[in-house]
Structure 1
Amino acid sequence: MTLVETEQRGGAVWLWLNRPDRHNSLIPELVSDLRAAIAAAAKRNPAALVLSGRGASFSTGGDVAGFLAHAGSCAELSDYAGRLVSALHEAILDLLAFPVPVLAAVNGPVTGGALGLVLAADLVAVAEHSFLQPYYSEIGFGPDGGWTALLPDRIGVSKALEIQYLNRRLDAQEAAALGLVARVCPASGLGSVVDGWVAEIGGGSAQTHRVTRQNVWDERRCAGVRDRLERERKRFLDLVTCPATITGMREFTRERA
C-alpha cells in the first residue's frame, strides 16, 4: 500500500496520507513518501497543492507504537525519533517553500506533530467533527511539528501555551475562531469547498499567487521557522528516552488499546 497517494484533480495536486488503519499516524516511511510526493507535485506546476487524509483522521501525529517498538535501547529509540522528527520538520519546510498555494482538507482529528502539516497550509477547510489537540503533556514528549515554532505566531503566545499546558482540545469552530481554519463544513462537503478554492485560485494570476507566497514565506521568515523547529527536534530527543516518557507511552497505548 502506498503511504501517500497522489491525485491530479481540477488543476490541483492532492496528496492523501494513506495509513487509515493507524489514523495516518506518522512513521519515517510515510513522511519520506510525503516529501517525495511534495517534490514530484512541484514539477507538475499545479494551480495549488492540497493535503488530506484517508479514513477517519487527518493524522494523529507520531505513531506511539512505533516509538515503543524501538525502545529496546536509548540509542535505538533516539535514532528512530530523530529520523521521524527531522523528516517531519523538513516536510513542513517543504510545504512552506512550495511555489504555489497550499491547501489542507482536514477530514478528521489532528493531533501531535501532524499539526505542522496544517499550519504550513495557506487555506484550511475542516470537517465539522474534526479537532486539534497536542497530547504531549499526557505522555512526556517535547512538542514538535511547529506547536512552539509556528503556532504562537498564528494565535498568540498566551493562547498557544494555554492549549499545550492544559492539553486543550480545539473543535472545528474554535479553530476557526482562532484563525487556524478558513471554512468548517460537513465532511461530505469538504471536497467541494476545496475544489471551489482551487477553481478560484486557478482563475487568478498564477504569477501573482507565486510572488505573494514567496513574499510571505521569504528566506528570513523560513530561516526563523527552521531554527525553532530545530530547537523542537533537540528538545524532543532530550525527552523521548527518559524513563518517565517511555512509561507515559506505554500507559497512553494501554489506555487506547
Structure 2
Amino acid sequence: MTTRVATETFPMPDGSLGARLTMTAGRANSLEPGLLGDLASALDEAEAQDTSAILICGGRNFSSGGDVRAFHRASLDGEAVAYANAVVPRLQAIVGRLIAMPRLVVVAARGAVTGGSAGLLFAADLAVLAPDAFVQPYYAKVGFAPDGGWTALLPERIGAGRTLEWLQSDRRLDASALCDAGLATAVSDTPEMTAARLAAEGEIGTRLATKALVWDEARRARINARLEAETAAFLERIVQPDTALGMSRFIERIGS
C-alpha cells in the first residue's frame, strides 16, 4: 500500500534513534484525510520505536494546507461538514500530540507552509527553513476559520497581539522574518541536514525535560480547549455562503 509519508531512522549521539518523516503527497502535500492519517501512523511507528527525536520534512513545498478544491467540491455536494470533520480534527490531534510527546520535534521546511500546515511548524521544538520558505495564513482570503493552532497555539509562541495582526493582515512572512519571530531556528540551503544536526546537539534528556516544563499539563489543557474551539469555528464557517464564495474566488485566482 502506498504511503504519503516516507519514514527512516537515524542515529542520535546518545545511542537512541531519531525518525525522519517526509511527506510525499501530491498537490504540495495538501492536508487531505489520507496524508493526515499516514502522518499519524508514522508518528505511531516513531513512538513504537522509542525514538528520541522526530524530524518532519516535506518536498519542494512543505505543505499548502487544506485542499481548497476538495473543500469546495464537498460544499457543492452538500458534504462540507463531513469533509471538514475528516480533516480538521485529525490535524488538531496531530498538533496537540506534537507538543505533548516526550520527543524532540524538529521541522525542516522548503517553500510554502500555508494554512493549517503551519501548525506543524508552531508545534515544533526547533525548525530550520530553506531561504524560499514562507508562512501565510490565507484564511481571510478563503473564508475558513483558522485551524492547526493559529489561534490555539501561536499566541503562546508570539503573543496574542502579533497573532491577531498576522491573521487579520494575512501577511506572508519569509524565512528570515520567521526566525526573527522565534518560529524558526535557522535558515539553510540544506534544511533537512541542518535540522538533523541541530536535533543531535545537546543532551537529549535535558532538552526533553525542558520541553515538558514548557508544555506542562495546564498549558496543554488550555491549548487543547482552544484547538477544539478552532474545530467548532471551522465547522460553523464551512457552511456559510460567504465561505463558498471565498473558495470559488480563491480557486479562480490560483487557476486549475
Q: Is the 8 A contact 2:57 2:192 kept in 1?
A: no
Counterpart of 2:15 in structure 1 is none
Q: Is the 8 A contact 1:126 1:185 kept in 2?
A: yes
Q: Is the 8 A contact 2:63 2:112 kept in 1?
A: yes
Deviation (angstroms), 1:177:
0.6
Deviation (angstroms), 1:99:
1.5
- Identity level (%): 39
Counterpart of 2:46 in structure 1 is 41
Q: Does 1:69 align with 2:92?
A: no
Q: Does 1:13 align with 2:19?
A: yes
The alignment partner of 2:176 has SS state of helix
What is the correspondence of 1:42-61 to structure 2 with a 5 Å cutoff? 42-54=47-59, 56-61=60-65
Letter in 1 for 2:206: T
Deviation (angstroms), 1:69:
2.2
1:55-111 deviations in Å (ceiling 9; x for gaps):
x2111110111112212344x210110220000000111111221111000122110
Alpha-carbon separation, structure 2, partners of 1:230 and 1:46? 28
Which residues of structure 2 form unaligned runs of 5+? 13-17
Counterpart of 1:208 in structure 2 is 206
Deviation (angstroms), 1:243:
1.5
Counterpart of 1:91 in structure 2 is 94
Alpha-carbon separation, structure 2, partners of 1:2 and 1:141? 28
Assess, with a 3 A threshold, how the Cα gap between structure 1 residues 153 and 97 changes in structure 2: closer, same or farther: closer
Alpha-carbon separation, structure 2, partners of 1:153 and 1:198? 22
Range with bigger deviation, 108-117 or 1-10: 1-10
RMSD of the alignment, in Å?
1.4
Q: Does 1:118 align with 2:104?
A: no
Q: Is the 8 A contact 2:55 2:196 kept in 1?
A: no
TM-score when normalising by structure 2:
0.93
Alpha-carbon separation, structure 1, partners of 2:215 and 2:157? 14
1:166-210 deviations in Å (ceiling 9; x for gaps):
110001111111111110112xx2122112113214xx2x43333
Counterpart of 2:246 in structure 1 is 248
Range with bigger deviation, 174-183 or 210-219: 210-219
- Choose from 129, 133, 136 the match for 2:139: 136
Deviation (angstroms), 1:131:
0.5
Which residues of structure 1 form unaligned runs of 5+? none
Q: Is the 8 A contact 1:14 1:51 kept in 2?
A: yes
Q: How many pairs are equivalent?
A: 249
Range with bigger deviation, 4-13 or 143-152: 4-13
Q: Is the 8 A contact 2:130 2:175 kept in 1?
A: yes
TM-score when normalising by structure 1:
0.92
